[in-house]
Amino acid sequence: MLSAFQLENNRLTRLEADEIKHLASSVWVDLVEPDDEERSRVQTELGQNLATRPELEDIEASARFFEDEDGLHIHSFFFFEDAEDHAGNSTVAFTIREGRLFTLRERELPAFRLYRMRVRNQSMVDGNAYELLLDLFETKIEQLADEIENIYSDLEKLSRVIMEGRQGDDYDEALSTLAEQEDIGWKVRLCLMDTQRALNFLVRKARLPAGQLEQAREILRDIESLLPHNESLFQKVNFLMQAAMGFINIEQNRIIKIFSVVSVVFLPPTLVASSYGMNFEFMPELHWSFGYPGAIVFMMLAGLAPYLYFKRKNWL
């Protein structure tokens, strides 16, 4: 899908279907999973070569941040959650050439959707491609900050579940959720660090206007403030995982203790009973009048004595 936007009095407006035929008037060309026809059109009308799928997936710094005859290129991660609430990072290719911003992505992303909604009611400051790029990065950082807050909120709920949990299923579900939250936190951290590298490259390589240079530095400061919060999430997750495992071990020890008591009580009587259950011809006790009740009493004493001894020693 190809979308194009132009500036009218420093306000970003989307070109309608009949206007999109003239891409030369656009300041932002946004492509989502473009087909061969759309790629060819961008190449023919604007002379712009678009990144291929293997280039989008390349993680080497030299392949993600570079400048060539096709413009200034930045490939950056954007966070998303799919229909099943599975978190992920999707690469977006940004290219700035001749005052125009090109964005190429493989899916619809929350940051882009939110930014398009915002620009309907607000004007841009300087109205250039760099401001567009930085506005998108700024929206991304706001989304990541919200995601960190959501993780904090979920961890607080999990903390109460773990500390107050009484059933094994509570801990099983809590551990599964903790692993999911840790995965989300890691993807958020990866996205923050990738954005930090992209902005550092932009500040070094691009001749940013004064307004955009300050905007880039402000976003970098926001990232610096978010990274420690993100790091503390991993510490919280690790603490809750250890606490959950500790409570699970305590519960298992209680179960083992019950089996230990049963073993201590019933093993000696079983030994007595098995002794008198042997089939030897000469067993004098078999002819005693009180042999059976005596064996029963002996079995009871054999079970009670070790239990009382272990109890006194606090071994049970």
Condensed to tens digits (0 to 9), the pLDDT of residues 32-44 reads 988 888 888 888 8
What was the pLDDT predicted at 140? 96
Q: Between 20 and 185, whose confidence is greater?
A: 185
What was the pLDDT predicted at 314? 72
Return left, alpha or beta for 206; rule: phi > 0 is left, psi -120 to 50 is alpha, else beta: beta
SS (H, E, C) the chain: CEEEEEEECCEEEECCCCCCCCHHHCCEEEEECCCHHHHHHHHHHHCCCCCCHHHHHCCCHHHHEEEECCEEEEEEEEEEECCCCCEEEEEEEEEEECCEEEEEECCCCHHHHHHHHHCCCCCCCCCCHHHHHHHHHHHHHHHHHHHHHHHHHHHHHHHHHHHHCCCHHHHHHHHHHHHHHHHHHHHHHHHHHHHHHHHHHHHHHCCCCHHHHHHHHHHHHHHHHHHHHHHHHHHHHHHHHHHHHHHHHHHHHHHHHHHHHHHHHHHHHHHHHHHCCCCCCCCHHHHCCCHHHHHHHHHHHHHHHHHHHHHHCCCC
Q: Between 260 and 115, whose confidence is greater?
A: 115
For the chain, the C-alpha Rg in angstroms (whole number) is 35
Q: Between 57 and 310, whose confidence is greater?
A: 57
Q: Between 24 and 86, whose confidence is greater?
A: 86
Q: What is the mean pLDDT of the chain?
A: 84
Q: Which residues contact 103 (CB under 8 A, 6 or more apart)?
A: 28, 29, 30, 31, 92, 93, 94, 95, 112, 136
Do 24 and 76 fall within a single domain? yes
Residue at which a domain ends, from 249, 280, 303 = 249
What was the pLDDT predicted at 149? 94
Taking the C-alpha atoms of residue 252 and residue 192, their distance in angstroms, rounded to an integer, is: 41
What was the pLDDT predicted at 205? 86
Residue 278, pLDDT above cutoff 70: no
What was the pLDDT predicted at 80? 92
Q: Which domain holds residue 271?
A: 253-312
Residue 58, pLDDT above cutoff 90: no
Q: What is the tally of structural domains in the chain? A: 2
Do 273 and 203 fall within a single domain? no
Do 13 and 64 fall within a single domain? yes
Do 200 and 287 fall within a single domain? no
Do 148 and 264 fall within a single domain? no
Do 200 and 274 fall within a single domain? no
Residue 277, pLDDT above cutoff 80: no
Residue 169, pLDDT above cutoff 70: no
Taking the C-alpha atoms of residue 87 and residue 188, their distance in angstroms, rounded to an integer, is: 9
Do 240 and 277 fall within a single domain? no
* pLDDT tens-digit readout, 229-268: 999 988 999 998 888 888 888 777 777 877 777 777 777 7
Residue at which a domain ends, from 221, 249, 277 = 249
Taking the C-alpha atoms of residue 124 and residue 209, their distance in angstroms, rounded to an integer, is: 14
What was the pLDDT predicted at 19? 59
Taking the C-alpha atoms of residue 23 and residue 3, their distance in angstroms, rounded to an integer, is: 10
The neighbouring-strand residues paired with 5 are 14, 28
Q: Between 53 and 109, whose confidence is greater?
A: 109
Do 134 and 120 fall within a single domain? yes
Q: Predicted confidence band at 282 (pLDDT cuts at 50, 70, 90)? A: low
Taking the C-alpha atoms of residue 252 and residue 257, their distance in angstroms, rounded to an integer, is: 9
Taking the C-alpha atoms of residue 63 and residue 314, their distance in angstroms, rounded to an integer, is: 66
Do 200 and 275 fall within a single domain? no
The pTM assigned to this predicted structure is 0.79
What was the pLDDT predicted at 283? 67
Residue at which a domain ends, from 223, 249, 275 = 249
Do 192 and 300 fall within a single domain? no
Q: Which residues of 236-258 are buried (b: 16+ CB within 10 A; e: fewer)?
A: bbeebbebbeebbeeeeeeeeee
Share of the chain above pLDDT 70, in %: 90
Q: Between 17 and 203, whose confidence is greater?
A: 203
The neighbouring-strand residues paired with 75 are 93
Do 69 and 85 fall within a single domain? yes
Least confident of 210-224, 249-263, 267-281: 267-281
Pairing of strands 100-105, 28-32: parallel
* pLDDT tens-digit readout, 68-106: 888 899 999 999 988 777 889 999 999 998 888 999 999
Where residue 123 sits, what CATH number does that domain have? 3.30.460.20
199: tokens are 């902005």
Q: Predicted confidence band at 315 (pLDDT cuts at 50, 70, 90)? A: low
Do 114 and 77 fall within a single domain? yes
